[in-house]
């Protein structure tokens, strides 16, 4: 399963990249606004740190506006992926860009038929938002499951990117279902390597080791 970080914060991206297991980055207009940075400059900086796919989202809601923005964004770096919303104009723009060989991430996906249509339009990634569905008492993981089944039934090559991940259990479930990628906030990436028994076990190993060293010193 590929791991992307869901942030526009450079320190978080550098730290996650240093772990050696980061495959890509997703951003969105809210994450960029939170950073207060120039959009294009920030995308360029991110692409310099991470060589894998880096999603940059358009804010136009019509086909021509989306294509014009995509033209500017793809000029930033060769690993830019254009993020478009799952609306009819986004679907049309997905087809146009995919036919030109531009990679597209179709975002704000909340039901399996959106995912099927964007796969038909040649999307590179589809982003079902798990956490936002769970937040309104739905079952976000069921959507991932349904998309996986539909894509496998028909051999669609679009990758399923599990998005809006809130905690490690979301990752476990998405991985068991077979999502191709998960995009994860930095806080959750840090939690992925944590277990209290690892910490207490290591503490005990080191204490025993030091006690042995002390005993050897006393015997010398």
Give the residue numbers annotated as catalytic, written as ranges. Answer: 83
Q: Is 12 in the site for ligand E4P (CB under 6 A)?
A: no
Which of residues 114 and 164 has its CB atom nearest to ligand E4P in the complex?
A: 164
> What span, in angstroms and rounded, lies between the C-alpha atoms of 107 and 119?
12
Nearer to ligand E4P, 120 or 132 (CB): 132
List phi, psi (to 5°) of 137.
65, 25
**With contacts defined by CB under 6 A, how many residues of the chain interact with ligand E4P?**
11
DSSP 20-56: T---EEE--HHHHHHHT--HHHHHHHHHHH--S-EEE
Question: Among 127, 145, 160, 174, which residue interacts with ligand E4P (rule: CB under 6 A)?
Answer: 127
* N-terminal to C-terminal alpha carbon distance within the chain: 52
Contacts of 186 (CB under 8 A, 6+ apart): 5, 7, 9, 12, 15, 16
Instruction: Return the sign of the alpha-carbon dihedral for residues 75, 94, 121, 133.
Output: positive
In the complex, the smallest distance separating the C-beta of residue 127 from ligand E4P, rounded to whole angstroms, is 5
Q: In angstroms, what is the minimal distance from the CB of 189 to ligand E4P?
A: 13
**Interface region with ligand E4P, contact rule CB under 6 A, candidates 12-20, 66-74, 125-133, 202-210:** 125-133
Which of 3, 5, 6, 97 binds ligand E4P (CB under 6 A)? It is 6
Write down the least CB distance from residue 70 to ligand E4P, Å: 16
Q: Which stretch, 96-104, 127-135, 172-180, 197-205, contacts ligand E4P (CB under 6 A)? A: 127-135
Query: Which residue of 39, 129, 151, 156 would you call a contact of ligand E4P, by CB under 6 A?
Result: 129
Q: Which residue has the tokens 């959009």?
A: 39
- Contacts (CB under 6 A) with ligand E4P, residues 61-120: 107
Nearer to ligand E4P, 69 or 213 (CB): 69
Nearest to 111 by CA among 93, 128, 136: 128
Q: Sort 44 into a burial class: Cβ within 10 Å, 0-12 / 13-18 / 19+.
A: middle
CB of 62 to ligand E4P, least distance (A): 21
Which residues here bind ligand E4P, judged by CB under 6 A?
6, 26, 28, 107, 127, 129, 131-132, 163-164, 183
């Amino acid at each position: 399963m590929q791991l992307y970080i869901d942030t526009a914060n450079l320190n978080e991206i550098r730290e996650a990249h240093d772990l050696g297991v980061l495959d890509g980055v997703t951003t969105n207009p809210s994450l960029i606004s939170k950073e207060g940075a120039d959009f294009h400059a920030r995308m360029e900086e991110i692409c310099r740190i991470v060589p894998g796919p880096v999603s940059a989202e358009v804010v136009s809601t019509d086909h021509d506006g989306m294509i014009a923005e995509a033209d500017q964004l793809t000029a930033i770096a060769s690993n830019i992926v254009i993020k478009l919303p799952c609306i009819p104009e986004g679907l049309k723009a997905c087809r146009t860009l995919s036919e030109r060989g531009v990679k597209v991430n179709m975002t704000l996906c909340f039901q399996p038929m959106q995912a099927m249509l964007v796969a038909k339009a040649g999307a590179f990634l589809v982003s079902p938002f798990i956490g936002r569905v769970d937040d309104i008492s739905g079952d976000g993981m069921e959507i991932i499951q349904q998309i996986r089944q539909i894509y496998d039934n028909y051999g669609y090559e679009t990758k399923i990117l599990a998005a809006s991940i809130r905690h490690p259990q979301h990752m476990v479930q998405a991985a068991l279902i077979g999502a191709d990628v998960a995009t994860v906030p930095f806080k959750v990436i840090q939690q992925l390597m944590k277990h209290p028994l690892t910490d207490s076990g290591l503490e005990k190993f080191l204490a025993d080791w030091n006690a042995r060293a002390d005993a050897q010193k006393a015997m010398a």
